[in-house]
Chain A
Amino acid sequence: MFPSFRSPAARGAAIGAAAVALAGVVAVIVRAPAVHASTTAVNIVGTSDVSDSDLVQSVLAPGFAAAYPGYHLNYIPKGTGAAIAYAESGAADGLIVHAESLENQFVDPGNGRPSYSYEPFGRAIFYGDFVLLGPSDDPAGVLARAPHDVVDAFKDIAVAGAAGKADFVSRGGTPGTTVEEHQIWQLLTGSGGASKVDGLTLCELSAADGGGYSPSTASGSCPASIRYPSWYHATGLNQGPNVEAGDACDFPNASRSGSNDCYLLTDRGTFDYLESTHAVSKLQVVTRDNAANAPGGSTLLTNYFHAYAVNPAAVPAHSDIDITGAEDFLNYLTSPATQTAVSAYLAGTNGDTAPFTGDAAPLITASEPKTPTTAGTEQTIHGRLVNVAPATPPLASQPVKLVVARRGTTRTVATAKTDATGHFTLSFRPTTSGVYLVVTGRLTQVENTALTPAFADLLAPSAKAIGRVVVVRPGTARSTR
């Protein structure tokens, strides 16, 4: 078999080499320290959007390890629906998802069962946006007719699909992107859930599956296994691979028309990233930034991400949830430094804005205080509290405080509540020189009352320095400090 091994010297050399190679392997195994030997893993299961766009690998994992040296992040990518199922089984400490119509049931499972969320609600962490992708020759004519009207675009694709000129590539199941698609298809239904488009039949999904409607061969409630029309494909893939499936577009209906005709919805972070690595070549954005006057309004394509710590009391015994680690991770996510890093990630790729924008804490705008001023003279600060996440309800009836920071300590000098539009007025009589700040604590904000139960989230504390005030005593010379 090995003729050259017949000479004793060659055989000896070969045996020696083999033994050295195996000894090397053993040495590598025995000697190599585990990379995370001294740190504790925080297991976060969540949407593949944030890992397929490389946000976890390039920002969150290294950032968390640096900010909390006792921990390292284990991110387990799944679709949103699957991630919630894993979290509810106690398999992870925390959760990052983006489907409010599934998250509300995670927070309130009903039937008197405890919330799976350790905190009263999930934390707002960042938002992105969904974009509709299509081939460059655009057989459904979406780019020309509906660049900012995704509902109309879906209608065009369904009509072209029925005519054998287009395919729609969905991930299928209950990832956040598919849940979003179901909300868009729903806007093509009229009274009683009937489709308003000729040749398009829609079935209704249960609330447990995130609600909404899906193309189907039969109307009514969707069965467990939906029968899709020939132009609609459920791939079962993660976000990135699904985009690649649409780019390759190897579907029977597509080959029948003899050209690339696949359309799909994805998050812009994944698309920007795939385009930056040249992993997609044929797809382009055909619809984005839904117009305010289009069905669904300007927020229809907004993709809100939330993070949860899993409630140890709600999951099965033996789950061993590391609640401290999960809370530390959430605190890291919502910290100003992380929020800035997330908002900077991939900014400028393809000449586009950043795909993710941190929205953990509300934005405070306020008028500047008058300075210098005589001690005890009343003055008023006017300002507004705004949720960074677009087109969310105004931050009404939320408490705000005015504090003065001096020599490392802070003291509250005035409190107020925001009005129905988030405006506030803080009146105070300054007695101390120092830096004045408007601050908010952790806020609970109801974001979506259309869902049952209503969807709410937590906003991180925020602070805005409005200026240094120099207080002078009445009748004395003006202080220099």
Chain B
Amino acid sequence: MTMLAVDVKRTLPNFTLEVAFSSDGTIALFGPSGSGKTTVANLIAGLVKPDAGRIVVNGDVLFDSTQRIDVPAHKRRIGYVFQEGRLFPHMSVARNLDYGRRMNGLPRDDNDHDRIVAMLNLGHLLTRRPGKLSGGERQRIAIGRALLSKPRLLVLDEPLASLDAARKAEILPYLERLRAEKLPMIYVSHQPDEVRRIADHVVRLEGGRVAAAGGVELLG
């Protein structure tokens, strides 16, 4: 079964997005800014609604305009790591990490929790508030928070874009570990070197359309 099949159309006043692709494993949405990468990520997560089309994840139809199916974002089980972390400032790191589990009504899973906290090296941060953490720490927590909601697919939208080179080097190994764990991922980026380290498949977008789809050789 194909992990992800997308065929969507969305028209804005001065931009038309018309994108179709299907793939497995770790998929990179690659392209220059303004090519529609983030919009595609938002459409898959359910934050933006397509005008028409179909989105299927692991055989589950999340959106189908002809069948009038539109699963709301909170029922899609798609973890989303945003460019700017978006941690909840009024909660401790531990509460942030636990948020998805509580909202989904999942039972406590200490093994999973401890494994992810150890993998992302978050143990010493649990009692802190997000306000005064470094960009790299915040982004690791954001990744942990998304993972702990037990998503069936993880969307990462330029998770390294707001970090400096040293912080990027700090986060990349964690992302490579996720790839090694075979968690289905969509990685949005315009950096070929990042994509090469993280993705198996590449969908190259240009001006709201798929310019090419295939392996990492597309990165040139």
User: Do A and B associate with each other?
Assistant: no
